[in-house]
Structure 1
Amino acid sequence: MIKGYHSTVMKIYENIRNEEKKLLQKRKEEIEKNLPEVLNIEKKIGLYSIKLSIKLLNNIDNKEVYLNKMKEKITELRIQKSELLVKNNYPMDYLDMHYRCSICKDTGFIGTKKCSCYKQKLVKLYYKDSDLINILNENNFENYNPQLFSPKKNDGGHISPRKNIQNIASLSWKFIEEFSHSKENLLFYGTAGTGKTFLSNCIAKELLDKGYLVIYRTAETLIQNLRTIRFDNNTELKDIILNCDLLIIDDLGSEQITDFSKTELFNILNRKLLKQKKMLISTNCDLEEILKLYSERISSRLLGDFTLCKFFGEDIRIQQNINSKKF
């Protein structure tokens, strides 16, 4: 899915430029019909500009005086052109190329650096093509319902599952609202069916809608991606996983755990933390299981660099299924 996104985005820019060139040509044809003197002035500006460029390269007497006169003449012609357009109810820039992004001029790049509009196009493309677009139609804050969780405290518990999910939802909103300047990462852990994936998807939708690039991977799929990056040298996939605004790793602990997976997981966690690119990880494991399953280097980052959010209560998916089948 990821492979080929860059070429697709660049094709979008090419199409934009071609569309704007066609629109400019139509505007010129309209002016040629209604105000041909404007195009004549444009031709004169073009000729003077060529002469100016030539004289800049040549050594002539009183070069500076001559060049200033040429520049003044070009300025006068531009003023005449603008006045004619405005007088006839046309904008001054009617015969200029119109760019949808004035920063990169619809190229996607400022020098060798990607323009901010490049990421916006990538976000829309990823969102459209990914499975998330269907999932997030259901898993979003509009469908968030804490009433599904029990209001009763568990034995020995300080708060009820309902109050707990309300607290985590509030923390999730804070994470979204402070996303642009916060360094926070989230670790959702607890038993299956207690809302971890649902809230992860709620966060993903809000950030995607704000124009951030969110990449969702199950732990198993992420390891497969990291294998592809390592052995196939897939630089595009590497760039997106490393530099996305939020990487969501779902169901950590369900992947096949090997020396390779532990090494690559540590590397991706460490590099994302160093780059201050945020992560949200969910797992059915408790903290003791994480310490047993993973190396000390991984565990220390998960437990030391992430805000820990414990989910508990009955499996709401089972409860919803039972309720839907009641007569």
Structure 2
Amino acid sequence: MTSNTEYIRRALREVALRRQVAMTKAEQARQRALAVVPELSRLENERRLAGIAATRLAVQGASREQIDAALEKTRQISREYDRLLRESGYEQAAVPDFTCKKCEDKGRLPSGQICECVRELVRTMRREEVNQSSPMELSSFDTFSLEKYPETFDADLGCTVREHMRQLTEYAYRWAENFTLSNPSLYLCGYAGLGKTHLALAMARIVLEKGYQVVYISAQNAFDAVEKEHFSNEGDTMTTLCEAELLILDDLGTEFISPYITSCLYSLINTRVCRRLPTIYTSNIIDDKDLQRRYTEKIVSRLLGSCETLYFCGQDIRLEEK
């Protein structure tokens, strides 16, 4: 699992490369202009000398009038330089064509803040990572077929299984379509093969398209990585999981359990609750008591107390598709 710090480092490196390319192209265009209009070279030299003279006057404590006069001479030369560029058709020759006009491909604004272009690159990298580790391209609301669920009436639900799943799907769609960081967390539970992961990834797809940072990972892979990093002192998976604007922790209950993993799970749940960051959990465990036997009452209380529970029912879709 790649950390947010590492994503930003990669994005800044990519932006720096963009700047280098833009500057190189501008310099190549400038050299072509100088070859066609030799007078430009003389004006560049005069402008450089005028700038040095203005700086020297300022250092020597010259009067404001003398400094302003020297600066005006520099501006006059620049205007003449620009006029020659326009007349020769090389007006944009020495102007780098930066990808981001706000930060000029520096990655940071004058205030020192990370530019939005870097954040967009980070989102793109996260999207690619999610796509690599999950069947997101195949998981959408359009491909979530309600016809797989029976029209059988369920007395506990008060409606047919298909109607229940239709209502659940509509709720999930609204949750994703109207997503903000104030969204409630979700606990998607039900027996295997009922579409929990599919629906979670369909929601993730919409949230990603809105520009939010989404991290998808199975519980087993997440805690395997966390435990490995605990002993190697390398990696930053736990921080990444805690900081994601939306975390999808898939197949909770399938991971190897230990006192350390239990502690990490509570820390993850509690940290995200305190930071008011929504999480989607999927699990085959539908009974609270089964959850408590596995994770302790304290963890289950924190987990379910922070979530809306969406109960999936029906028959294993994957078996029916075979």
Same-fold call, TM cutoff 0.5: yes
Q: In 2 relative to 1, CA 154–220 (structure 1 residues): closer, same or farther, beyond 3 Å?
A: same
Amino acid paired to 1:282: T
Matched residue, 2:218? 218
SS at match of 1:157: coil
Is 1:66 aligned with 2:66?
yes
How far the C-alpha of 1:83 sits from its partner, in A, is 4.0
Unaligned 5+ segments in structure 1 are 322-327
Partner of 1:103: 102
**Residue in 1 aligned with 2:18?**
16
User: Is the CA contact 2:29–2:93 (under 8 Å) kept in the aligned structure 1?
Assistant: yes
Q: Which moved more, 1:277-286 or 1:105-114?
A: 105-114
Paired letter, 1:161 = V
CA contact (8 A) 1:119 1:213 kept: no
RMSD: 2.8
Flag structure 2 segments of 5+ consecutive residues without an equivalent: none
Aligned to 1:26: 28
Q: Partner residue of 1:304?
A: 305
Work out whether residues 168 and 309 of structure 1, in 8 Å CA contact, stay in contact via their aligned partners in 2: yes
Residue 187 of structure 2 aligns to a residue whose secondary structure is strand
Q: Report the alpha carbon displacement of residue 28 of structure 1 after superposing the two structures with TM.
A: 0.8
Q: Is the 8 A contact 2:189 2:309 kept in 1?
A: yes
Give distance in 1, aligned partners of 2:269 and 2:259: 15
Q: Tell me, yes or no, if structure 1 residue 274 matches structure 2 residue 307.
A: no
Alignment of 1:50-89 (within 5 A): 50-60=52-62, 62=63, 64-89=64-89
**What amino acid is aligned across from residue 58 of structure 2 in structure 1?**
L
- Structural mapping, 1:250-265, within 5 Å: 250-265=250-265
8 Å CA contact 1:229–1:238 kept in 2: the answer is: no
Change (3 A) 1:32 1:285: same
Rounded Cα–Cα distance in structure 2 between residues aligned with 1:95 and 1:23: 9
| 8 Å contact kept, 2:18–2:105 | yes
Q: Which moved more, 1:36-45 or 1:237-246?
A: 36-45
Cα drift, residue 7 of structure 1: 5.2
1:286 alignment partner, SS class: coil
Greater shift after overlay, 140-149 or 288-297? 288-297
Q: Distance in 1 between matches of 2:234 and 2:163?
A: 44
C-alpha change, 1:217 and 1:129, in structure 2 (3 Å) is closer
Q: Cα–Cα, structure 1 residues 274 and 38, in superposed 2: closer, same or farther, change >3 Å?
A: farther
Deviations 1:54-84 (A, max 9, x none): 3333323x2x112222333333334444444
SS in 2 for 1:142: coil
Amino acid in structure 2 at the alignment position of 1:51: A
- Find the counterpart in structure 2 of residue 137 from structure 1: 137
Name the count of aligned residue pairs.
Answer: 318
- Deviation readout 1:126-160 (Å, 9 max, x if unpaired): 43355547612212233122122123322432232
TM-score normalised to structure 1 length: 0.84
Distance 1:68 1:145, change over 3 A: same
2:285 alignment partner in structure 1: 285
Deviation at 1:287, TM superposition (A): 4.3
Pairwise CA distance, 1:125: 2.9
| CA displacement at 1:185 relative to structure 2 | 1.8
Change (3 A) 1:278 1:134: closer
Structure 2: how far apart are the matches of 1:239 and 1:102?
Answer: 32
Matched, 1:160 2:127: no
| Shift in CA distance, 129/307, structure 1 to aligned 2, threshold 3 Å | closer
Q: Measure, in 2, the Cα distance between the counterparts of 1:164 and 1:81.
A: 73
Residue 318 of structure 1 aligns to which amino acid in structure 2? Answer: L
Give, as a single letter, the amino acid of the residue that structure 2 aligns with 1:199.
L
Amino acid at match of 2:123: V
Task: Give 3-state SS (helix, strand or coil) of 2:153's partner.
Answer: coil
SS at match of 2:142: helix
1:131-210 aligned at under 5 Å gives the runs: 132=132, 135-210=135-210
Q: 2: CA distance between counterparts of 1:70 and 1:180?
A: 55
Work out the CA distance in 2 between the residues paired with 1:180 and 1:75.
Answer: 50
Percent same amino acid among aligned pairs? 21
* SS of equivalent to 2:154: coil
Which segment is superposed worse, 225-234 or 190-199? 225-234
Superposed displacement of residue 215, structure 1:
1.3
TM-score, normalisation: structure 2:
0.85
CA separation in 2, counterparts of 1:228 and 1:119? 29
